Chain A
Amino acid sequence: MQITSSGCVPRAGSRERVRAPGAGAGVIRPRQAGPARALLGLSTREVLQLWRVEADLSLSREIWPLLKSSGPTSPFKMDIDIECQELSGSRWTELVSSMKDCKAIRLDYCKLSRSHCEDLCSVLSTNQSLKELKLDHNELKDEGVEVLCKGLLTPSCNLELLWLENCNLTGACCESLRSVLSAKPSLTDLHLSRNKLDTSGGKVLCQGLLDANCKAQSLVMRSCELRGDNAEMLTSILSKATLKKLDISNNKLGDAAIKQLCQGLMDPNSNLQLLHLENCDITADSCGDLATVLSTKPLLLDLAVGKNNIGDAGFTLLCKGLVYPNCNIQKLCLDTCGMTADSCGDLATVLSTNPSLLDLALDNNNIGDVGLILLCKGLIHPKCNIQKLWLWECHFTAVACKDLANVIGTKESLRRISLTLNELGDAGMEMLCQGLKDPKCKLQFLSLKECGLTSACCESLRSVLSTKQSLKHLEIGSNRLKDEGAKLICEGLLDTNCNLETIWLGESELTAACCDSLAAVIRTKQCLRYLGLDLNRLENEGVRKLCEAVRSPNCKLKYLMLYDIYWSSEVEAELRALEESKPGLKIIF
């Protein structure tokens, strides 16, 4: 039985969650509207709940926490997944008693502190099946972690994953963590981001990681105030054969440190698959060393060097490594790297020679039309297997759209593309639509926010929507589509060929006038799960029309985004009642 307190929609995840047969989704409402509470200060919803409790006492048991429902006799393992709730007093005690058999516990933002750690410590020393413990964003501090480590060190503890992001830790607790790392080969996944571990803490931690007993696979230490002097230690842990994932972004490491790191990566024992070095003060100076790594390490699949000012010079060097046959990089993040059109020739060469690259992010680089046109030459090459392409704010316009349309209409592997924040205009969009309509195009996700579009391009868009069966997710808000544009888009959506699951039309200058069309879509399209209409002046009239449509049994919407739309308190009440009546639906106000 799963206890979740972060929403009624079960989270998709790779972790196995065993559910008790016939049990509901197990939603707990965090602030229970029990009869003992005063009416003042409760939200409308809570007051309504209170009324229902008073009206029919038989319902009251369902509203109280479901913690007791899976007792020690239950044959199923439990998971605990709670965020943003204060856990204290009897609530905490009850929760702890239910932790005996858990496999995974997540308690983010729960205002936990050292005293909670004492209890968690005993859980760790008695629960042999506990594999994951996530305590991000709690003021545990060094003392709290030291207590936890006592539990972690007990012989029966087999914890595999420990996340302590933003727990106000310093280097002082690293000694305890070190002893855990050198004693527990089961601990493979450690997240310590956003704790001021500092150079000294980093060094102590690395000692633990280097221990032969330590079989760490994944280490994430973003924003830990690590410095260049940590390089030596970091370098040595890279030669750890078990280490697959290292993320040390947002630490001021500098070129000298990166060069040392690369030496560590070159170690024949190193099996690293993922390396994230975003915002690490890297410049072109260390790109040669990174290129050497890229050309020699076939296991490296995911490299992120975004937010480092490597510039064109740096990128040219990186490319020398990327073109090597040994280079199997699948995911490459180069956002905000100071690249211009000058880098694009080399990048095109990479794309036309390296078939392994699947995911490329170039956001926020001033590549412009010239750059994108060059890039397209590489993208269109038969050897290129690109699946995901992110080009947010790359400063290109309609001028590059013909070539881009050609890529979109030819590259069957391309599934997800974002062109947000580029001034494409209607002319550019028309050209892109030509590519989108091509039967070879199998695009699933398309983002076109803030692209300077108006209703003028919506006829072409309608035509795309009514033919492109593969398209599942469309973000086209923050454009002046207006009611006219929205109506055309809705016509496209209504086509039986259209399988859209998600559409975001926020901030598009829509009014109540297009709500009949929107209502028709809501009523008819059973595939539609997420509809975003925030920041439009739909007003009471429009919102009411939507409500009526949502009530229809055909409507299988999960999320209806209505942020920042002004309505009366009657309409607000109507919306809340609507949400209550449709258990699968969440209306976001």
Chain B
Amino acid sequence: MTQARTLVMLWVLAGSALLLVVSANQQQYERFLLQHVHCNPRGRDDAYCNRQMRYMLREDRRRDPNPGKKICKEINTFIHETKDAIRAVCQGGGSEYVTRSGQVMHRSFSSFQVTTCRFHGGKPLENCRYRASRDSRRIVIACDEDRNPVHFEESHI
């Protein structure tokens, strides 16, 4: 009886471990989407940055089980494309390079419309003020095993 129970426990543990990795990746991808993807921006100006950053920061806190002090994130870029178009960069739509410590980055072949929001003063959260700078450039991202973007390189090459 106990042997069977041990076996069941082992399967449950293995399954949970797998789900652990899967759910961790999923969480990173969803965070990437929240922080860096905004398909239909309305006017990519300072007011846009204020709105979008505040929404993003608020939602980010809401998803965090233990958010801590409110902070206005210093710099953040929004990519104005569908998530599929961005995922495509992970799936052959970009050139790969490997960093010193073995991290694989993907640099897109095509240019993307982006808006970078830089913190410009104000108290977190609802008064965080930002300056917008619009750009069209190749993006550099890192992808997970499922070929979903999980990291955006703000300091692009």
Residue A564 interfacial (CB < 8 Å): yes
Chain A: which residue is nearest B153 at the CB level?
A566
From B37-45, B65-73, B107-115, give the one contacting chain A.
B65-73
Query: Which residues from 111 to 157 on chain B have a C-beta closer than 8 Å to any C-beta of chain A?
Result: 118, 120-121, 126, 142, 144, 151-155
Query: B59 CB to closest chain A CB, in angstroms?
Result: 8
Per-position binary interface string of chain A over residues 473-486, scored 1 when its CB falls under 8 Å from any chain B CB and 0 otherwise: 00001100000000
Residue A109 interfacial (CB < 8 Å): yes
From A35-43, A72-80, A458-466, give the one contacting chain B.
A35-43
Q: For residue A539, which residues in chain B have a CB less than 8 angstroms away from its CB?
A: 99-101, 103
Q: Is the CB of A85 within 8 A of B154?
A: no
Query: Which residues from 124 to 138 on chain A have a C-beta closer than 8 Å to any C-beta of chain B?
Result: 136-137
Chain B: which residue is nearest A576 at the CB level?
B24
Residue A346 interfacial (CB < 8 Å): no
Residue A386 interfacial (CB < 8 Å): no
Q: Is the CB of A84 within 8 A of B66?
A: no
Q: For residue A564, which residues in chain B have a CB less than 8 angstroms away from its CB?
A: 75-76, 151-154
Interface size grouping (class) on chain B: 35 or more
Q: Is the CB of A7 within 8 A of B68?
A: yes
Residue B16 interfacial (CB < 8 Å): yes
CA separation between A449 and B74, bound complex, in Å?
A: 10
Chain A: which residue is nearest B105 at the CB level?
A566
Residue A58 interfacial (CB < 8 Å): no
Q: Is the CB of A566 within 8 A of B151?
A: yes
- Identify which of B24, B144, B154, B155 contacts A44 (C-beta below 8 A): B24
Query: Which residues from 67 to 107 on chain B have a C-beta closer than 8 Å to any C-beta of chain A?
Result: 67-71, 73-76, 99-101, 103, 105
Chain B: which residue is nearest A108 at the CB level?
B126
Chain A: which residue is nearest B66 at the CB level?
A8
- Identify which of B28, B31, B66, B100 contacts A29 (C-beta below 8 A): B66
Residue B5 interfacial (CB < 8 Å): no
Per-position binary interface string of chain A over residues 126-169, scored 1 when its CB falls under 8 Å from any chain B CB and 0 otherwise: 00000000001100000000000000000000000000010000
Per-position binary interface string of chain A over residues 546-586, scored 1 when its CB falls under 8 Å from any chain B CB and 0 otherwise: 00000000000001010110101100110000000000001
CA separation between A586 and B74, bound complex, in Å?
A: 17
Q: For residue A15, which residues in chain B have a CB less than 8 angstroms away from its CB?
A: none
- Identify which of B21, B65, B76 contacts A45 (C-beta below 8 A): B65
Query: B93 CB to closest chain A CB, in angstroms?
Result: 19
Do A512 and B65 contact each other (CB < 8 Å), given the known contacts A42-B23, A563-B73, A588-B71?
no
CA separation between A537 and B121, bound complex, in Å?
A: 25
Query: A470 CB to closest chain B CB, in angstroms?
Result: 23
- Identify which of A39, A509, A540 contacts B16 (C-beta below 8 A): A39
Residue A281 interfacial (CB < 8 Å): no
Chain B: which residue is nearest A8 at the CB level?
B66
Total number of A residues with any Cβ neighbor in B under 8 Å:
57
Residue B20 interfacial (CB < 8 Å): yes
Q: Is the CB of B155 within 8 A of A109?
A: no
Residue A392 interfacial (CB < 8 Å): yes
Query: A43 CB to closest chain B CB, in angstroms?
Result: 5
Do A566 and B75 contact each other (CB < 8 Å), given the known contacts A392-B120, A507-B155?
no
Q: For residue B101, which residues in chain A have a CB less than 8 angstroms away from its CB?
A: 512, 539-541
Query: A359 CB to closest chain B CB, in angstroms?
Result: 14
Per-position binary interface string of chain A over residues 179-222, scored 1 when its CB falls under 8 Å from any chain B CB and 0 otherwise: 00000000000000000000000000000000000000000000
Do A7 and B103 contact each other (CB < 8 Å), given the known contacts A47-B20, A478-B75, A564-B151?
no
Do A41 and B62 contact each other (CB < 8 Å), given the known contacts A6-B67, A537-B155?
no
Q: For residue A566, which residues in chain B have a CB less than 8 angstroms away from its CB?
A: 103, 105, 142, 151, 153
Query: A451 CB to closest chain B CB, in angstroms?
Result: 14
Q: For residue B14, which residues in chain A have a CB less than 8 angstroms away from its CB?
A: none
Q: For residue A573, which residues in chain B have a CB less than 8 angstroms away from its CB?
A: 24
Chain B: which residue is nearest A511 at the CB level?
B100
CA separation between A39 and B13, bound complex, in Å?
A: 12
Query: Which residues from 4 to 31 on chain B have a C-beta closer than 8 Å to any C-beta of chain A?
Result: 16, 19-21, 23-25, 27-28, 31
Query: Which residues from 1 to 31 on chain A have a C-beta closer than 8 Å to any C-beta of chain B?
Result: 6-9, 27, 29-31
Query: B126 CB to closest chain A CB, in angstroms?
Result: 8
Per-position binary interface string of chain A over residues 487-517, scored 1 when its CB falls under 8 Å from any chain B CB and 0 otherwise: 0000000000000000010110101100000
Query: A296 CB to closest chain B CB, in angstroms?
Result: 31
Chain B: which residue is nearest A137 at the CB level?
B126
Query: A82 CB to closest chain B CB, in angstroms?
Result: 12
CA separation between A342 and B74, bound complex, in Å?
A: 33
Q: Is the CB of B61 within 8 A of A84?
A: yes
Residue A300 interfacial (CB < 8 Å): no
Q: Is the CB of A588 within 8 A of B103?
A: no
Residue A535 interfacial (CB < 8 Å): yes
Q: Is the CB of B155 within 8 A of A31?
A: no
- Identify which of A46, A137, A449, A478 contacts B65 (C-beta below 8 A): A46
Q: Is the CB of B99 within 8 A of A44?
A: no
CA separation between A85 and B155, bound complex, in Å?
A: 34
Do A478 and B74 contact each other (CB < 8 Å), given the known contacts A44-B27, A539-B99?
yes
Q: For residue B24, which residues in chain A have a CB less than 8 angstroms away from its CB?
A: 43-44, 569, 572-573
A-B contact pairs, 13 of them (CB 8 A): A6-B67, A7-B66, A8-B68, A39-B16, A42-B23, A47-B23, A136-B126, A450-B118, A506-B75, A534-B73, A537-B155, A559-B71, A572-B24
Q: A43-B23, A45-B65, A390-B121 are in contact. List 19 more A-B contacts (CB 8 A).
A: A7-B66, A7-B69, A30-B65, A43-B65, A47-B16, A83-B61, A84-B58, A84-B67, A109-B58, A109-B62, A450-B118, A507-B74, A509-B155, A511-B100, A559-B69, A564-B76, A564-B152, A566-B151, A588-B68
For the complex of A and B, the 3 pairs showing the least CB-CB separation, nearest first, are A586-B68, A84-B62, A566-B151
Which residues of A are in contact with B by a Cβ distance under 8 Å? 6-9, 27, 29-31, 39-47, 51, 83-85, 109, 136-137, 165, 363, 390, 392, 449-450, 477-478, 504, 506-507, 509, 511-512, 532, 534-535, 537, 539-541, 559, 561, 563-564, 566, 568-569, 572-573, 586, 588-589
